[in-house]
Amino acid sequence: MSDLCVFGGSGFVGSEFCRVTKRNVKYVMREDRCPLSTESVYFIATVHNYNVFEDLHKDIDINLKILMDVIKHLTPGESVFNYISSWFVYGHTDLPATEDSDCHPRGFYSITKRTAEQLLISYCHTFDIRYRILRLGNVYGLGDKGASAKKNALQYLINRLKNNEDIQLYHNGDFYRDYMHVTDVARAIDLVIEQGDVDQIYNIGSGDRVRFKTLFDLCVRATGSQSKITPVVPPEFHRHVQVKDFYFTTDKLKSLGFQQTIGLQKGIEALCR
């Protein structure tokens, strides 16, 4: 197989992708911007909408400026650029979302990720470069060192359950998401890069609508936690930048023959050990 250049291969999803892919991976150093092969996969990004309180420029600098510094080195007529995006770009849209759904993102992270998609598409069309955009759903699994209340909240809550710490549960868990294990997410990314059509957007997830309260109750049982759980209304800022419910279709991914290997119950129970 041909070489694959990886930007951001040390993060939660990027490192798992590098572990499962059979491609010859060429890692790009953090400070470098030049691709090392004609095909690249790009994981670099901020991870939540809260940077606005500490650094007004962080999402713009990382999600847009670094991306521009990278894509200007792509080779017209030869390069293929695979951009890892997020379900956050959809914002408030009709559900289940499809790759063609209107996007109405809120929050600096969400907006800059969507802007990055649009700038990439425009640049690639202008300079005869092929691209794919992969929008990830909620990713869970072992190894996310950056899990917090702001990012990968499921693992953050599981960690609190293990320690029998008090938990405030937004909407009492009565909301919906699409979850897929990080290993299956990495496999799906690899499949789209290998077989997916260029100049297309792919949703990467299970395609299943999961009620968070059902998932959370499974976590409580699996951990045997004695945590005190209190239903709360999310803060105003969270309600402004985040949608209450989200799930999307993954028909395009499944049309490539993708099948999950780690069911939700099995994956969650492993995370709760």
Distance from C-alpha of 179 to C-alpha of 140, rounded to nearest angstrom? 7
Q: What is the pLDDT of residue 260?
A: 97
Whole-Å CA distances, 28 to 7, 19, 33, 34, 145: 6, 16, 8, 8, 21
Torsion 8-124-132-130 (CA) sign = negative
40-49 tens-digit pLDDT: 999 999 999 9
Q: What is the pLDDT of residue 262?
A: 97
Task: Please give the average per-residue pLDDT across 198-220, as a whole number.
Answer: 97
126-162 tens-digit pLDDT: 999 999 999 999 999 988 988 888 888 999 999 999 9
Q: What is the pLDDT of residue 87?
A: 98
pLDDT of 95 over the 90 cut: yes
Average pLDDT, the chain: 96
User: DSSP 3-state assignment of 75?
Assistant: coil
Count Cβ neighbours within 10 Å for each residue of 129-150 and write b for 16 or more, e otherwise: bbbbbbbbbbbbbeebeebeee
pLDDT of 1 over the 70 cut: no
Q: What is the pLDDT of residue 177?
A: 98
- Its domain, for residue 133, covers 3-272
2-33 tens-digit pLDDT: 899 999 999 999 999 999 999 999 999 989 99
Q: Is 180 left (phi over 0), alpha (psi -120 to 50) or beta?
A: beta
Task: Please give the average per-residue pLDDT across 172-201, as a whole number.
Answer: 98
37-73 tens-digit pLDDT: 999 999 999 999 999 999 999 999 999 999 999 999 9
Number of folded domains in the chain?
1
Helix-helix angle 264-272:212-223, to 10 degrees: 40
Q: What is the CATH number of the domain that holds 249?
A: 3.40.50.720
Task: Please give the average per-residue pLDDT across 195-203, as a whole number.
Answer: 98
pLDDT of 111 over the 70 cut: yes
pLDDT of 75 over the 70 cut: yes
Task: Please give the average per-residue pLDDT across 210-230, as a whole number.
Answer: 96
